[in-house]
Every structure is written in C-alpha cells, then in structure tokens.
Structure 1
Amino acid sequence: MYTFEDMQKMDRVRLGNMVPLELFRTIRLIGMNQGLPMGGKGTTLTVGRKIGESLPVSSVEDLLALFEELKIGIPRIVYSDEHRLNIAVEDCFCKGLPTLEEEKMICDLEGAILEGALSKLLGRRVSVREIKCNATGHEYCEYEVKL
C-alpha cells in the first residue's frame, strides 16, 4: 500500500516532479469522464475521498494550503456557519477549457478530495457538492460542504 508520503519521493533526474496539465486533463476528462460509465463519477468520488483521507493535514488551513501547494487550485472559504462551509477554488485545473453548454460540473475529484480530508479532520462524515464550475462559465469552482 502506498501512502501520500511515498508519492512525495521522486527520483526522476531528467524530467523532474511535474507532468503537464494537459496530461492530467486528458486522463480526467477524456479517459475517465468520457470513458467510464456515468462520466466516471463513482470512480472519481471513491478515488478522491481516498486521496483526501491520506493527506498529511491537521487543520482546515493546512488542507487549503496543501491544495495550493499541490497546484490543485487556490482555495478560500467564502461562507461558513455551524452547518455549512463553502470553499471557492480559483485557478482550478478546468480554468481555460471551452465552456460547456450544459450545467455539467466536472471537478468532482477535487470535491471528493476535500470531502475525504475534511471527514478525517472532523472525525465524522461530511458531504461535499460542487455548485459552481469554471467549465460552465462561473468565475471559479465552488464547493458546498455540509458539516
């Protein structure tokens, strides 16, 4: 079993620790979204939650900082009360893609990562749903977290 710490170990002398965004987009949107049943939703939710649970974070602030450090996007809390938390993610991986005509949210993996990490941090199940997406013309992606 690999851990997040294992993923941080790099030994690529020539190519380094980065891969192009277009490769990630291709895997996500062509391979998974278009290639799997139901747009790959079940897969991305399961994978994202598992990734989130494995992240070495001890607070919401740590999680948001790691999101940016990993270049997932630039997150900020736009609303918070005892029942709900809304997190906007600017500069998400979908920024710049052609706008989809339908109201189809495509950043479910990122939401599932948040869900897995927040559930672990809070010690209880939380629910995360994408309510805005760059790919549908919104200024940023936004996730509603039900606490």
Structure 2
Amino acid sequence: MLQYTFEDMKKMDRSHLGDMVPLELFRTIRLIGLNQGLPLGGKGTTLTIGRKIGESLPAATVEELLMLFESLKIGIPRIIHSDEYKINIAVEDCFCKGLPSLEEEKMICDLEGAILEGSLTKILGRRVAVKEIKCNATGHEHCEYEVKL
C-alpha cells in the first residue's frame, strides 16, 4: 500500500494554481464535509487524522512544533502555562477566526488539537492527551488547548 510522507506533501507541480488553496475550501471540507457530514460530527475521524498528521511532522522539539504550526499557517501558537502536569497552548489566528460564533459551546478545532497530540506524543516519547478548552468559534479570544502530560 502506498503511504505518503510529510516530505511528499511538499512536492508540487501546479503551474497555474500554485501551492495554495483558499481557506474557505479547507473550512468547507472540515466543517461541512466532516463535521456536518459524518456521524458524531466526524470527531473520531478528525482525531485519527490529526494524530497521524502530528506523528508525521518533522519536529523534534516543542519549539520546532510551534514554529511549524505557524509556518504551515495552522495558527500562531504560544505556551501560556507549563508545569509538570500540563501545558496550555493558545493559538491565535486559527482557521476558525472570523467565522460566525456558534450559539452552543461546541469546540470545532479538534483536528488542530489532535495534530498537537500526535506530534507531542512523538516528541516527548510518551502518550499525552490534548483537549480544546477555548475556541474562536464560541466567542473566545483565541483557541486554547490543554495538554495533559
């Protein structure tokens, strides 16, 4: 079975359209296709996908992961709390920034949290659990993830 790597994703040959797709297409795939189109809001699917993506990222340290998050335009992450039990990571300018606020307290950036989880599990050499605790789409000032170590 063919398996792609993160390095494969950098190989492009689109002479007219280039290497970018509009954010609205990504949002449509995520929020209409997966979130609205799959059972349970596609949560199991996005968690599985995100963890796999995170494991494949070429980051060997937490700092490298945060820089990669920004260079891939996932968002601008910063650690706002860190101790021996948990790390809180705020993500500014997340993909959901600017969407209409949801009436319910439904977090929609589970893919990004799962990417963090997969990558941090690999980097730290032990299983971590990541949960989104704030989301732009519910009116918070940024998206925020709690990483349980």
* TM superposition score category, shorter chain reference: over 0.9
Correspondence 1:55-66 to 2 at 5 A: 55-66=57-68
| Counterpart position of 1:4 | 6
Q: CA deviation at 1:110?
A: 0.1
Q: CA deviation at 1:10?
A: 1.0
Cα distance in structure 2, aligned partners of 1:99 and 1:58: 35
Q: CA deviation at 1:124?
A: 0.7
Aligned length: 147
| Counterpart position of 2:95 | 93
- Residue identity opposite 2:134 in structure 1: K
Q: Deviation string for 1:64-91 (max 9, x for gaps)?
A: 0000000000000000001100000000
With structure 1 as the length reference, what TM-score do the two structures score? 0.99
Secondary structure at the counterpart of residue 43 of structure 2:
helix
2:56 to 54, 57, 60: 54
Secondary structure at the counterpart of residue 34 of structure 2:
helix
Cα distance in structure 1, aligned partners of 2:50 and 2:27: 15
| Counterpart position of 2:22 | 20
- The percentage of aligned residue pairs carrying the same residue is 82
Cα distance in structure 2, aligned partners of 1:68 and 1:41: 24
| Counterpart position of 2:137 | 135
The gaps in structure 2 that reach 5 residues or longer are: none
Q: Deviation string for 1:35-89 (max 9, x for gaps)?
A: 0000000000000000000000010000000000000000000000011000000
| Counterpart position of 1:120 | 122
Secondary structure at the counterpart of residue 104 of structure 1:
coil
With structure 2 as the length reference, what TM-score do the two structures score? 0.98
Q: CA deviation at 1:145?
A: 0.0
| Counterpart position of 2:33 | 31
| Counterpart position of 1:104 | 106
Cα distance in structure 2, aligned partners of 1:25 and 1:114: 19
Cα distance in structure 2, aligned partners of 1:10 and 1:58: 25
Cα distance in structure 2, aligned partners of 1:104 and 1:4: 30
